[in-house]
Structure 1
Amino acid sequence: MALLELEDVTAAYGRVRVLEGVSLSVPDGGAVGILGSNGAGKTTTLRAISGTVNVGGRITFDGQDITSVGPEKTAALGIAHVPEGRGTLPNLSVRENLLVGAYLRRDRAEIRADIDFLLDLFPHLARRISQNASALSGGEQQMLAVGRAFMAKPRLLVLDEPSLGLAPSTAQDVYEAIERLRKESGIAMLVVEQNANLAFRVVEAATILETGRSTISGTTEELRGRDEIRKAYLGG
């Protein structure tokens, strides 16, 4: 059974319809990408999942209907969202940012173990553990945002454009860290990305969005084999 499933989801900001019919699913423990150009509806799809935009259609998580339940409920059910722009807390240290991610947890020993796990995965953060997030580079802030979301112990980690605004080499470092997190934790992921070559390092399948609709879905191998996908998203 799918952990997350969207069935013909629509979404609007006021009277402006942005999603016209998006369907996709994420298996329990699986990783799926959402690809598309600017304005295709990728970020709005994530907002629909998190309950921060008016939606139609149906969204289920672990068999439970979560259509329009709101961000607090979706977070409580086990969906952690890393938004575009990272959203770290600049005046708090790296360690404090990670602890904020675990604010609903009471298992202190496991919290300490999870922080140690993340610092092993993200050595850039380990070297900066006592520094404020404002002192980090863009790539380090993105790693911290991912780590803070993981500290909530979610079943699904939702990532919105992890490479946005990063130099190519830094984006590679960030995706290497995300890839390691996925392999070593087994957490399910939904990754929005324009750079398919980066996303395909992490996901096993993807859905293409065009003007608010899901148009093509398949495994990464299937999508790599399609000429129009290679030309539009994989550089030829």
Structure 2
Amino acid sequence: MTLLELVDITASYGRIQVLESVSLAVPEGGAVGILGANGAGKTTTLRAISGTVRSTGTLRFDGKDLRGLRPDQVASLGIAHVPEGRGTLSDLTVRENLRIGAYKRKDRKAIQTDVDYCLDLFPQLQDRIRSNGSALSGGEQQMLAIARAIMARPRLLLLDEASLGLAPSTARAVYAAIRRLRTESGIAMLVVEQNANLAFTLVDTATVLETGRSVLTGSAAELKGMDEIRRAYLGG
């Protein structure tokens, strides 16, 4: 079953068109990657879904039209966006950040269960539970941003450059946690990632964007085997 569907999505910032006819689909419980060079439109695609940039075309989540909805309305449908740059609430503690993620929920016992799950998923956060976001390392801030999104119990997680700026060992740890999350929760994921080697450990399929257009879609195995993909994204 298709959970998220984009067909011929076009988006602009003022007079500058960034996306032109982008199409992709994310199945229920699936994981899809978006690859492309800087400026290809990867982040804008996620913003079009989450309602932070206006778009034209077909944009549906669980059969519902997302176009014209405010970001809070999109989130209320079950879409959580972890943007590039993390967005940690620096003046709040780790625990407070997690609880902010569940601010629309009323199930207090389940909220605490999910806090415990996030701390098990990212053990480094347990050690920093009383620390303010501003005191965390870059890797810890990324873990907290993902954990806070999980607290909303989304059906779809939009991940924008989860490994950006992280040491290789930390990036691998973050992706190991995301893979575990996918297995255990069944949350669908749309993943923008510069490090294609990491992305291919998580996603089933991927779409390649060039100058705002979808130019190639295939399974992770198929794309990894293509010479042009290896040269552009895999260091081969």
Q: TM-score, normalised by structure 2?
A: 0.98
CA contact (8 A) 1:86 1:141 kept: yes
Work out whether 1:198 is the aligned partner of 2:198: yes
Letter in 1 for 2:53: V
Matched, 1:27 2:39: no
2:166 match: secondary structure? coil
Structure-2 separation of matches of 1:214 and 1:122: 34
The aligned residue for residue 218 of structure 1 is 218
Residue of structure 1 equivalent to 2:127: 127
Taking the TM superposition and a 5 Å limit, the aligned residue runs for 1:1-236 are: 1-236=1-236
Mapped partners of 1:65, 1:106: distance in 2: 27
Distance in 2 between residues matched to 1:66 and 1:3, nearest whole Å: 12
Quick one: distance in 1 between partners of 2:171 and 2:152? 24
| Runs ≥4 residues deviating over 6 A | none
Deviations 1:155-192 (A, max 9, x none): 00100001111122221121112112112211111100
Q: Aligned to 2:44, what secondary structure does the other structure show?
A: helix
Partners of 1:181 and 1:37 lie apart in 2 by 27
CA contact (8 A) 2:54 2:67 kept: no
What code does the residue aligned with 2:2 have? A
State the Cα deviation string for residues 142-163 of structure 1 (Å, max 9, x = none). Answer: 0000000010111001000011
Shift, 1:64, TM fit: 0.9
Aligned partner letter, 2:231 = K
Task: Look up the equivalent residue of 2:93 and give its one-letter code.
Answer: S
Alignment partner of 1:67: what SS?
coil
Question: Could you tell me how far apart the structure 2 residues matched to 1:174 and 1:139 are?
Answer: 8
Structure 1 distance, partners of 2:138, 2:49, is 26
Contact 1:94/1:128, CA 8 A, preserved across alignment:
yes
SS of the aligned residue for 1:39 comes to coil
* CA-atom RMSD in angstroms: 0.8
Deviations 1:69-95 (A, max 9, x none): 121111010000001000011111111
Deviation at 1:231, TM superposition (A): 1.2
Runs of 5+ in structure 1 lacking a partner?
none
Instruction: Please give the alpha-carbon distance, in whole angstroms, between the structure 1 residues aligned to 2:209 and 2:76.
Output: 28
Partners of 1:135 and 1:83 in 2: CA distance: 20
1:21-42 deviation per Cα after TM superposition (whole angstroms, max 9, x unaligned): 1000000000100011100000
Q: CA separation in 1, counterparts of 2:144 and 2:13? A: 30
Contact 1:48 1:68 (C-alpha < 8 Å) held by counterparts: no
Of 199-208 and 166-175, more deviation after overlay is shown by 166-175
Offset at residue 100 of structure 1 (A): 0.1
Residue identity in the other structure for 2:11: A
SS of the equivalent of 1:118 reads helix
| Equivalenced residues, count | 236
> Percent same amino acid among aligned pairs?
70
User: What's the CA shift for 1:52?
Assistant: 1.3
The TM-score normalised by the length of structure 1 is 0.98
The one-letter amino acid paired with 1:194 is: Q
Deviation at 1:68, TM superposition (A): 2.6
